[in-house]
Amino acid sequence: MPALTLPANHPRRVELSEEVHARPPQALTAPLSASYLVLYTGPEEQAADRAAIAALAARFSAALPADGANHYNAHLGPVRVIWERHTEFTRYTFIRQNGDVRSPFDNPPIAEAPADWLAGLPGQVIFAAHVLMVNTPDDAAGDDELARHLFGDAELVGSRLASGGAVALTSFRAHGDGFNRYLIRNRSLSPIQAGRLMRSLLEMDTYRMMALLGLPAARDLGRIMTAREQELAAITHEMADDVRSDESKLLDRITRLQSDIERRHSQHRYRFGASAAYYGIVQARIEELREERLEGLQTFAEFVERRLAPAMSTLDAVSDRLESMSEHLARVTQLLSTRVALTQQQDNRKLLAAMARRAKIQLRLQRTVEGLSIAAITYYLVGLIAYFAKGTEVLGLPLDAAIITAAAVPLVALALILGLRRVRGGFGKSVQED
């Protein structure tokens, strides 16, 4: 077949194609024991995570993980170590072939790791478990001697898995060493099937814990939301009251309340969304188990769903309350803003009317003052003219001072009135031009 010339690959084609093979299941052959440790770590601890697994590999003179790797698998001394880095957590799996099925957890595989290295791992423990896998056709449950030895009197949860190819039991409780315990009886599974089964069981518990991370925040937020809803109800009641309230103070209260709700919404949106995503993974892992009931025991699906589903419902309810209150606050804020704007318009209208009334009064006063001013100026000017006319009589000119004074009164008054109007007209024109 001739070589084909294709367009250039997408920059992420190879990376995305290999993603499905990034964390392949391990081929496991019973009897074996395993220790599983999950640490809650954020994106800021990626470098520390990689440094930790590189340090462990170096202690056993093994090949180091590749730069930027999120998965590492190697035999380190007597155990196989699998390291996986995820968005919010890092997990370590230590696997050891173990012929001692009576006391598999007295010296678990994780004890092969150096104590100082283990204590210095970045992050916080979110889940830990020991697993014992044995080969047996026996699927007895509650009366099994090995199960009683491993779990004591704890109530067990378990079922036949993989269409009857194995039986798994656990108590979903941490024992004195802080680790949960799993017993897997492999009846007919191949090594790859056994590896997938153990991974599905451990991932079911891992993602169950990660999904529950949002529950404490949801409970706290639910109590806060109750108080905020009561405050909003009080504000809306005050808005609807016939007695007029201080709308500026109401708007300040509603704005502060809205800011608080939006801040909390932003804080918890990621956590609630992540919990929903983890819950979906838990359900997927349970489906992968293909359970069949063991008489007298709850199945994994029943136990997990009975306890996890109400928690997820709580998260959904609180998230819905946040969304609903945010929308309600937006409507109330818009309504109150409109009401404040209308009130301001009414106040402005009243203010303008009062200013108009004051302007009219000032105009009347001004005209009154102008009239009085004209009379006073006329009086003084006519007085000057009278003195002038009397002076002409003394000089012997043929002028009658009384007639001149009387004639000057209307002339002076008219001249003052015309002059004042001209000045007023010129002032008004200059104002319009400005």
Whether 15 is in a domain gets the answer no
How many residues belong to the chain? Answer: 434
Domain of residue 371, residue span: 350-423
CA distance 220 to 232: 19
pLDDT by residue, tens only, the chain of 434 residues: 566 787 888 877 776 676 655 667 788 998 999 999 999 998 888 889 999 999 999 999 999 998 888 899 999 989 999 999 998 999 999 999 876 667 788 889 999 999 999 999 999 999 999 999 998 875 554 447 788 888 888 899 999 999 899 999 999 999 989 999 999 999 999 999 999 999 999 999 999 999 999 999 999 988 888 888 888 888 777 777 655 566 777 777 888 888 888 888 888 888 999 999 999 999 999 999 999 999 889 999 999 999 899 999 999 999 888 888 888 888 887 777 777 777 777 778 888 888 888 888 887 777 777 666 777 777 777 777 777 777 776 666 666 777 777 777 787 777 777 777 777 666 556 645 55
Whether 141 and 95 map to the same domain: the answer is yes
Task: Please tell me the predicted confidence (pLDDT) of residue 16.
Answer: 66
pLDDT at residue number 142: 43
Q: Quick one: 292 and 369 in the same domain?
A: no
**Domain co-membership, 66 together with 183:** yes
- Look at residue 11 in the predicted model and tell me its pLDDT: 79
Question: Where does a domain end: 300, 328, 349?
Answer: 349
Same domain membership, residue 27 and residue 128: yes
365 assigned to some structural domain: yes
Say if 205 falls within a structural domain. Answer: no
Cβ atoms of residues 79 and 93 within 8 Å? no
Q: How many domains does the chain have?
A: 3
360 and 393 co-located in one domain = yes
- Dihedral of the CA atoms 76, 82, 83, 86 (nearest 10)? 180
Please say which residue of 304, 326, 349 terminates a domain.
349
- For position 141, what pLDDT does the model report? 47
CA–CA distance, 229 with 329 (Å, rounded to integer): 10
Q: Are residues 158 and 186 in the same domain?
A: yes
One domain, residues 287 and 364: no
In a domain? residue 223: yes
Residue 207: helix, strand or coil by DSSP?
helix
Q: What confidence score (pLDDT) does residue 395 get?
A: 65
Question: Which of 317, 305, 310 lies closest to 268, judged by CA?
Answer: 317
Question: Are 327 and 372 in the same domain?
Answer: no
Same domain for 94 and 125? yes
- 71 with 185, same domain: the answer is yes
In a domain, 428, yes or no: no
Q: Is residue 293 part of a domain?
A: yes
Same domain flag for 47 and 172: yes
Residue 431 placed within a domain? no
In a domain, 391, yes or no: yes
- State which of 349, 377, 401 marks the end of a domain: 349
Task: Report pTM.
Answer: 0.74
Q: Tell me: do 55 and 189 sit in the same domain.
A: yes
What pLDDT was estimated at residue 1? Answer: 56
